[in-house]
């Protein structure tokens, strides 16, 4: 089946435009700067989806906290619209022992991927692992014990894409957040 981003956009609603997304990131940046003031947390971007969000979030934190940037690449989706087993493509090079870690991701849906990454960070000796999610899906299917400490925007329980989130590996660079009206 051919998946075209133009067809997806024609079947989608714009939920949040760029201005709304950037306002949410500015708010989150201020919260993170306050909570990590005087500290040097490890700011772990979950690739690929969190890339646009993480860059803007790090800038929004500004001088409020000295972030050490690194990334992790673990996925359950591999271009599909539903998840499977966690696949590690890159583990961070930065030491975790005794560190405060902030996982930065584009979406917290059910939380399986973030839970796996969080557990790995703790096993590596992280003193604390918090989660900053650009979007959190509104439903009750989340993994027990997994919640975002910093939330940008709550989205409905629909297939969402744009601003880092993909539709069959397309549309990550869209400046807004869209939701399909039907199942992909």
Q: Which domain holds residue 64?
A: 5-73+98-180
Residue 33: what pLDDT? 97
d(CA 82, CA 14): 21
Residue 90 within any structural domain of the chain: no
Tally of domains in the chain: 1
Residue 79 within any structural domain of the chain: no
Residue 180: what pLDDT? 97
Tokens 């199942």, located at residue:
183
Walk along the chain (184 residues) and give the pLDDT tens digit of each residue: 478 999 999 999 999 999 999 999 999 999 999 999 999 999 999 999 999 999 999 999 999 999 999 999 998 755 554 556 788 999 999 999 999 999 999 999 999 999 999 999 999 999 999 999 999 999 999 999 999 999 999 999 999 999 999 999 999 999 999 999 986 5
Angle (CA) 55 57 63, round 5°? 105
Residue 151 within any structural domain of the chain: yes
Q: How far is CA 30 from CA 38, 43, 108, in A?
A: 14, 15, 20
Torsion on CA atoms 177, 64, 129, 77, rounded to nearest 10: 20
Query: pTM for this one?
Result: 0.92
Query: Which CATH number characterizes residue 128's domain?
Result: 3.40.50.2020
Residue 5: what pLDDT? 96
Residue 87 within any structural domain of the chain: no
Contact by Cβ (8 Å): 49, 166: yes
Residue 89 within any structural domain of the chain: no
Q: Which two tokens stand for residue 125?
A: 């000796």
Residue 83 within any structural domain of the chain: no
Residue 75: what pLDDT? 80
Residue 69 within any structural domain of the chain: yes
Residue 81 within any structural domain of the chain: no
Sign of the torsion angle spanned by Cα atoms 33, 125, 78, 109: negative
């Amino acid at each position: 089946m051919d998946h075209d981003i133009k067809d997806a956009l024609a079947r989608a609603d714009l939920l949040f435009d760029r201005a709304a997304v950037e306002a949410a990131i500015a708010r989150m940046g201020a919260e993170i700067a306050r909570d990590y003031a005087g500290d040097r947390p490890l700011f772990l971007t979950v690739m690929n989806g969190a890339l646009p969000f993480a860059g803007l979030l790090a800038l929004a934190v500004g001088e409020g906290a000295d972030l050490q940037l690194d990334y992790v690449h673990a996925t359950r989706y591999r271009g599909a619209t539903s998840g499977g087993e966690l696949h590690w493509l890159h583990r961070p090079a930065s030491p975790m022992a005794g560190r405060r870690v902030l996982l930065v991701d584009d979406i917290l849906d059910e939380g399986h991927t973030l839970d796996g990454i969080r557990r790995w960070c703790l096993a590596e000796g992280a003193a604390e692992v918090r989660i900053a999610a650009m979007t959190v899906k509104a439903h009750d299917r989340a993994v027990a014990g997994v919640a975002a400490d910093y939330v940008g925007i709550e989205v409905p329980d629909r297939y969402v894409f744009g601003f880092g989130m993909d539709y069959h590996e397309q549309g990550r660079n869209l400046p807004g957040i869209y939701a399909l009206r039907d199942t992909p």
